Amino acid sequence: MTLNLPASDQRFDAIVIGSGISGGWAAKELTEKGLRVLLLDRGHVVAHGEYPTEGKAPFELPFRGDTPPQELLRDHAVNQANEESKHFFNNDRLNPYAREDGQPFDWIRPAAFGGRSLVWGRQSFRWSRFDFNANAADGHGVPWPIGYDDLAPWYDHVEIFAGIAGSAENLPELPDSRFLPPHKMNVAELWFKQQVETRMQGRRVIHGRASNITVDRPDQNRTKCQNRRQCHRGCSFGAYFSTQAVTLPAAEATGRLTVLADRVVQSLVYDETAKRVTGVRIVDTQSGTAETLTARIVFLCASAMASVQILMHSRLSNGETSFANESGMLGRGVMDHPTKARVTGTPPGLDDFIVYGQPPTGFVVPRFRNLGEQDPDADFVRGYFYHGIARRMPSLAPGFGAEMKHAMRRYDPWRVHLLTFAECLPYSDNRVTLHPEKVDRFGVPQLVFNVAYRDNEQKLLQDSMVQARRMMEAAGLQDIQTSYSEPTPGSAIHEMGGAPMGTDPRTSVLNRWSQAHAASNLFVTDGAQMNSSSCVNPSLTYMALTARAADHAARQIREGAL
């Protein structure tokens, strides 16, 4: 990554706040449309190919990869990062939030340029018409001002460039993408697929859809996935989508990108007369120096809760309320995916098989509940789906010498795992606020979370375990076991909401172009803009919404509207 330091009098067409999945796309799209862009991030510099723990064996890592318990408790109590990737994550002690003053919420934050694009799970799914119509259909949350057809061409746009491996299935509940060949299922996953689809009508077991490329992309200097399953350490091959490997090189190639790392955004400067954002107040995390930078437009992509925090701290001259909160909806409707419901079982007759290599994804079971009409046996709305994987682990090797060496040649039985991801409804009183007294070391009020899962989410998780057991029993798996622990919001790291889209400024923060009602030159294109959570991973939708918003912003500039 080239680090360009701006001269104090340098002018920009756009400032992009945050360099993660959304921010990287904003920088790429805006620079390619001719704009001079400043890309800001609070994280430290991480250059592509310079990943400290990539490819290292356990004996090459401190403590064989396990962070000492006292350090974990002190510095990584929330994110639980270990020696493999802790350098990518926030130090929770140095950068606290008001965790003890609200309800439990795991706010897991990166601390490196590239953000979560370096450490995300890479599961990439289009949302369906069911997802975009859900709020209007059942009355929960602000209705989406856009539909699937509005976003479909932008899904195409980002998928072709990012590279999504998967299989075409023609399922309305999980629309197909522009796919590269899928990662192969292993023998147990194929067995499970065949058994379930034969014995349970309406259930599908399909390839996971991952942004890990399966063919070389020499045009992007990317090499196909090596099946190491070490993506969380960084990938010099560029096999998985990250800002460093994919969008940043494209933006830099235009010659119109300036990058500043180690910069915290405190707030936005707002002109109440012109109803525009005129600047961005930043602090250098190394020197403590504060300054204000200006641009014609601002793309706020700091991650959902961080973006809401910045907006809340961007107050009107009365010093009490945010310029973006005329509707009273700022900070409301916060969501995450309830999970931690898992069912496992052993497929019979596969003891002769093991697998070499570790593909970066397994399989998924698409949503099958409440599609179109409410299922008569469902006392809940919306639905869930399963991430699945089958694996066979080496047996524990007790003893010493020959006994231990012989034991290391043995494997435990195969296990098929189904993990639920359920939809969270956009409750208005699931919200974040600024603490009236506590500030962080950069002077920004700390966030207070009051977000909880309710009866509907609990019913979804319970039903998912019942249905998973039925699938495994029908498939003929043995030793079926169910595990469940109470999910904490934030723990799925899919937090969304807080600045919803809408047609009416009285009930929403953004319009259908991810553009603030209160400031036409401000775009918020990360998870904060989401009106609902679906049950599938949201990152691909952030990419498409960001590219769509960037195209709209560039057209508005060309037409003289911004």
Domain containing 411 equals 168-240+339-422+454-488
pLDDT of residue 395: 86
- The token duo for 546 is 């960001």
Task: Indicate whether 117 and 50 sit together in one domain.
Answer: yes
Tens digits of residue pLDDT in 474-513: 999 999 999 999 999 999 999 999 999 999 999 999 999 9
Question: What distances in angstroms separate CA 349 from CA 190, 192, 388, 413, one per listed residue?
Answer: 13, 12, 20, 10
Domain count, the chain: 2
For residues 195 and 475, is the Cβ–Cβ distance under 8 A? yes
pLDDT values of the chain reduced to their tens digit, one per residue, 562 residues:
555 555 455 789 999 999 999 999 999 999 999 999 999 999 999 999 999 999 999 899 998 888 898 998 899 999 999 999 999 999 999 999 999 999 999 999 999 999 999 999 999 999 999 999 999 999 999 999 999 999 999 999 999 999 999 999 999 999 999 999 999 999 999 999 999 999 999 899 999 999 999 999 999 999 999 999 899 999 999 999 999 999 999 999 999 999 999 999 999 999 999 999 999 999 999 999 999 999 999 999 999 999 999 999 999 998 889 999 999 999 999 999 999 999 999 999 999 999 888 999 999 999 999 998 899 999 999 999 999 999 998 888 888 888 888 888 889 999 999 999 999 999 999 999 999 999 999 999 999 999 999 999 999 999 999 999 999 999 999 999 999 999 999 999 999 999 999 999 999 999 999 999 999 999 999 999 999 999 999 999 999 999 999 999 999 999 999 8
**407-411, Cβ contacts within 8 angstroms, sequence gap of 24 or more:** 411/354
Residue 287 structure tokens: 């020197």
Same domain, 134 and 256: yes
Domain boundary (488, 507, 534) is at 488
Residue 551 domain-assigned? Answer: yes
Nearest to 76 by CA among 104, 98, 51, 108: 108
Q: Please check whether residues 481 and 409 belong to one and the same domain.
A: yes
Clarify whether residues 469 and 391 are in a common domain. yes
Q: Final residue of a domain: which of 464, 488, 512?
A: 488
Does residue 362 sit in the same domain as residue 274?
no
pLDDT > 90: percent of the chain: 90
What is the per-residue pLDDT across 22-52, written as a single tens digit (0 to 9) for each? 999 999 999 999 999 999 999 999 999 999 9
Query: In sequence order, what E strands does 485-559 have?
Result: 515-516, 519-524
CA distances from 464 to 339, 364, 447, 494 (A): 10, 14, 32, 19
Q: In this structure, what CATH number is given to the domain that contains residue 514? A: 3.50.50.60
Cα radius of gyration (the chain): 23
Same domain, 383 and 358: yes
| Domain match, 468 and 527 both | no
- The pLDDT, as a whole number, for residue 9 is 55
The answer to whether residues 66 and 187 belong to one domain is no
Within-domain flag for 513: yes
Beta bridge partners of 419: 342, 387
